[in-house]
Copies of this chain bind each other. A is one copy, B any other.
Amino acid sequence: MNGSQAMVKTLLAGSVDVCFANPGTSEMHFVAALDQATEMRCVLGLFEGVVTGAADGYYRMAGKPAATLLHLGPGLGNGLANLHNARKARSGIINVIGQHALDHIHNDAPLNSDVEGVARPMSNWVRTIVSSTHAAMDTAEAISQAKSAPGRIASLILPANCAWESADAGQYSFAAAHPPAAVLEETVDEVAALLAKPGTAKRVCLLLGGTALLESHTWLAGQIAAKTGCQLLSEPRSPRLQRGRGRVNVRPIPFAVDAAVATLKDADHIVLIGSTVPVAFFAYPGKPRLTVPANCHVHTLATPGHDLHAALQALCDATGAGGTTPAFLSKDLTMPVYEDGFPTPATIGAVLARALPENAIVVDEAVTSGRQLADSVPYFAPHDCIDITGGAIGFGLPAAVGAAVAAPGRRVVALVGDGSAMYTIQALWSMAREGLDVTVVIFDNRSYRILRGELNNMGGPAPGVNASRMLDLDGPELDWVSMAKAHGVPGTTADTLSGFEKALNHANATPGPSLIALRI
């Protein structure tokens, strides 16, 4: 048994049985080891951003880490943006990154670079294996890191000689993963006391983050809100929201700083539950950096590392909210109707409410367009939504690949802006290759619409030639049906609401991936 084989054996023993991969020469021994392990599902991405984004989407839906296989510093570099999103989502991932043989690094061959240096900014844990006899043990520790609560990005750098040299079989043991922490009773009592104060509760906001957006958690939060009259909000971007009809729908704090400030302006107390202090997505001249009111008190019931369900259950018990019908519960809604016409971000929500399949997984990277869907979400069939937590675009299509691998039998609907889609468009091919049930909706507005808004926010003159050439995608227009076809995915366009609904229904009923370019 060589180092690679010991690693693959360790991964499988740790129930890591999916490997998103884009290998190169230095990883050929690891590829050979994967080749002998038929229990491992290997999914090829034609670009490393697909690989890391898929591992993020997989973790969010499977609740356990996948491995990635990346080629040296440049391959890892290509995967960094989606590792950034994954790190902000607190997803667990085990990156196996090839490296030159230990005795070849100093020769500074063309592909040599500081692999640890590339890994560190987007990883929680980085280690270079120094001997094939350490390979299994280091892999076991990487698994433990990735499986901790919250999840961590574990980057394991594999020098080629450690992959091909001999290793002992089975001489490894798993380090225990870091479990979620328990919340102190005193902390729960303090928050419960705050909510019990006459006149105070309605100016208390429970701010949910991380796993607190799962259905089982929001139900408890909804009960507490119903019982005490407190407010509920979620962070602007969450890793996984279970929402829609029959569920408690917690509104996210808006992205735009003015709207975020307005949303929070009446809060005297914010209680963090798996979330962090709300901040502006970007800084702007003369606008606040924190979106919390100046005199607001911020309390921490639970950090992302705590057991959020237990924390919410304890608060529910302490407030006597058990058995209450939750606030923000979406039920008995009349299905929206729409007047047919040209789709706009404000009107397409009605179509999604009608056409989203039960138990779908929505990937939300619609950027400008996506923000206007919030009002329609309570009408949607119950679904999971995975969101672009780190703001690094190019997340949506890869995450859809990973979510579909994690949840066979569920339809994935990826809502992606045209600008965003182009960062990692190669994901379409992986969808076709793996026959994944993904409906890709491209919001085709032929511009970086969000940036036009941001430029406008500065209050200067209208964009001239140079600015327009950096913000518009209309010369030439991207041909989305050809783009889909190029990658082996059937594609169509829609430019009316009814056409969109028809295309959605057809795509969702067709096994494998489809793409709809929605002209807006």
Contacts and interface: CB of A to CB of B under 8 A. Distances in A.
Given A77-B122, A103-B289, A483-B486, A108 B283 contact: no
Given A73-B121, A78-B80, A111 B283 contact: no
A124 B455 CA distance: 32
A459 to B, nearest CB: 10
A426 to B, nearest CB: 5
Nearest to A109: B279
* Most B Cβ at <10 Å: residue of A36, A107, A486: A486
Contacts of A470: 21, 23, 31, 34, 42, 44, 69
A482 B422 CA distance: 15
Interface in A12-43: 21, 23-26, 28-29, 31-32, 34-38, 40, 42-43
A58 interface: no
Interface residues of A, number: 104
A84 interface: yes
A100 B282 contact: yes
B478 A429 contact: yes
A47 B476 CA distance: 16
Interface stretch (A170-178, A192-200, A376-384, A461-469): A461-469
Nearest to A460: B32
Copies in the complex: 2
B426 A422 contact: yes
Contacts of A46: 419, 422-423, 473
B466 A34 contact: yes
A25 B368 CA distance: 13
A392 B77 CA distance: 10
Contacts of A269: none
Contacts of A24: 451
A485 to B, nearest CB: 4
B466 A42 contact: yes
Contact of A466 (B38, B391, B422, B486): B38
A49 interface: yes
A449 interface: no
A81 interface: yes
Nearest to A450: B25
Interface string A159-170: 011001000000
A512 to B, nearest CB: 11
Nearest to A47: B423
12 contacts: A35-B467, A44-B470, A49-B78, A73-B84, A77-B84, A84-B113, A104-B282, A110-B236, A117-B117, A433-B475, A478-B488, A486-B486
Given A28-B455, A103-B283, A478-B487, 10 more contacts: A21-B470, A46-B422, A47-B394, A47-B423, A75-B81, A110-B236, A118-B122, A164-B458, A476-B487, A482-B482
Q: Closest 9 CB pairs between A and B? A: A476-B488, A77-B80, A74-B392, A101-B283, A483-B486, A74-B81, A104-B283, A35-B467, A482-B486
